[in-house]
Amino acid sequence: MFKFMFKKSSAVILASVISCFSIFYVTAGDSGSTSSVAKSPSSELSLNADFLKKKLKSALGLNVDDVLETALPGIALVVTDQGLFYASYDGEFFIQGKVYQVGDKVTDLADASLSKIRLEGISKFESDMIVYPAKNEKYVVTVFTDITCGYCRKLHNQMDEYNAKGITVRYLPYPRSGIYDRSGGLSQGFQDLRSIWCSENPNEALTKAKAGSSIAHRICDKKLEEEFNFARQIGINATPAIIFENGSMIPGYQDPEKLSKLLESM
CA distance 74 to 228: 30
Separation between Cα atoms, residue 200 and residue 198, nearest integer Å: 7
Decide: helix, strand or coil at residue 18.
strand
For residue 218, indicate whether it is catalytic. no
Q: Report d(CA 151, CA 107) in Å as an integer.
A: 25
- C-alpha torsion sign, points 66, 69, 73, 74: positive
111 is catalytic: no
Tell me the C-alpha distance between 139 and 260, whole Å: 9
Of 118, 149, 153, 192, which residue is the catalytic one? 149
Catalytic: 149? Answer: yes
For the beta carbon of residue 247, count every other beta carbon within 10 angstroms. Answer: 18
Name the 3-class secondary structure at 17: strand
Nearest to 114, CA basis, from 77, 166, 169: 77
Beta bridge partners of 99: 18
Q: Which of 146, 170, 192, 194 is an active site residue? A: 146
Rounded Cα distance between 110 and 118, Å, is 11
Instruction: Tell me which of 118, 153, 170, 176 is the catalytic residue.
Output: 176
Cα-only R_g, the chain = 21
Catalytic: which of 118, 152, 170, 192? 152
Catalytic residue IDs: 146, 149, 152, 176
